[in-house]
């Protein structure tokens, strides 16, 4: 994925987590393991209306990741598949949630809509199984990497070989943390008025990101097709790959 796509997806994760946390009694749609902590706190005090969702969200999240993995695996070699298709599906889910929440502002569908947002974030999480790059949905590891990198710079420590850049542009951890925080802040302002219908904002962004990733998917498919049909020496194949990779990036 493009470095900018990673930053936008990070902001979306912060946005959706904040929307569900405010609107649905402290539910995390992206950081689903955090729901165990909140549920435990609820047991120590008194159970609220939506606390059961904190437990249901976990198996829903797992199933949605399996669904995302299935879709990615079956469509990765198609023109509109892989990353672009999963982002499109995630956007579609968010649109449905937003429209239903706007048309029916009462709490009648709130639990179901919240779980649909969990499904959307599960699909986003499934991308990281197949696409190289940092996680866009959980910031704990990103904060750790950023903090360790600062220590290496300050104290002139050697960088672990596994962390040496491969040359592919990736956003700095600091920018990812800032993007996540920005998503949380924006959601905090809009959720008070829009509640779950605020999910239309990341939905529109996801549609754009899907269209941005689409030509990259097509270019990768073109590379694979040419490599299957080519019968040139290895140095010419390497040149072909580098030329097509330049188009993709």
Determine the pLDDT at residue 217.
73
**Residue 88, in any domain of the structure:** yes
CA–CA distance, 37 with 56 (Å, rounded to integer) = 14
Report yes or no on 122 lying in a domain: yes
Count Cβ neighbours within 10 Å for each residue of 162-184 and write b for 16 or more, e otherwise: eeeeeeeeebebebbbebbeebb
Report if residue 227 sits inside a domain.
Answer: no
Q: What is the pLDDT of residue 45?
A: 83
Assess if residue 60 is contained within a domain.
yes
- Give pLDDT, residue 221: 65
pLDDT digits (tens, 9 = 90+) for 226-237: 666 665 555 555
**Range ranked top by mean pLDDT from 43-47, 69-73, 105-109:** 69-73
Q: Is position 194 within any domain?
A: yes
What confidence category does residue 113 fall into, taking pLDDT thresholds of 50, 70 and 90? very high
Nearest alpha carbon to residue 124 among 204, 13, 240, 8: 13
Is 163 a domain residue? no
Task: Determine, yes or no, domain membership for 245.
Answer: no
What range defines the domain where residue 128 resides? 3-154+170-213
- State how many domains the chain has: 1
Question: pLDDT tens for residues 51-82?
Answer: 889 999 999 999 999 999 999 999 888 878 88
Average pLDDT over residues 81-102: 95
- Reported as a single tens digit per residue, the pLDDT across 124-181 is 999 999 998 889 998 988 898 889 888 988 998 888 766 555 445 557 889 999 999 9
pLDDT of residue 246: 54
Q: What is the CATH number of the domain that holds 96?
A: 1.20.1250
**Which letter does DSSP use for residue 218 in this model?**
H
Domain assignment of residue 179, yes or no: yes
The mean of the pLDDT values for the chain is 86
């Amino acid at each position: 994925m493009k470095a900018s796509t990673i930053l936008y997806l990070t902001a979306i994760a912060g946005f959706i987590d904040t929307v569900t946390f405010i609107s649905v009694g402290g539910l995390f749609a992206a950081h689903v393991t955090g729901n165990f902590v909140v549920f435990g706190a609820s047991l120590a005090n008194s159970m609220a209306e939506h606390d059961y969702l904190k437990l249901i969200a976990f198996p829903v999240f797992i199933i949605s990741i399996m669904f995302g993995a299935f879709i990615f695996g079956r469509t990765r070699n198609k023109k509109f598949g892989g990353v672009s298709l999963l982002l499109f599906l995630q956007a579609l889910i968010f649109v449905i949630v937003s429209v239903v929440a706007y048309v029916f502002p009462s709490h009648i569908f709130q639990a179901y809509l919240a779980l649909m947002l969990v499904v959307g974030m599960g699909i986003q999480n499934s991308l990281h199984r197949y696409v190289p790059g940092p996680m866009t949905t959980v910031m704990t590891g990103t904060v750790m990497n950023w903090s360790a990198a600062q220590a290496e710079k300050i104290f002139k420590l050697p960088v672990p070989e596994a962390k040496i850049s491969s040359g592919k542009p990736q956003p700095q951890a600091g920018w990812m943390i800032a993007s996540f925080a920005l998503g949380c802040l924006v959601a905090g302002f809009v959720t008070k008025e829009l509640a779950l219908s605020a999910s239309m904002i990341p939905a529109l962004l996801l549609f754009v990101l899907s269209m941005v990733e689409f030509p990259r998917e097509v270019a990768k498919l073109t590379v694979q097709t040419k490599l299957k049909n080519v019968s040139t020496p290895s140095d010419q194949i390497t040149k072909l790959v580098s030329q097509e990779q330049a188009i993709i990036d």
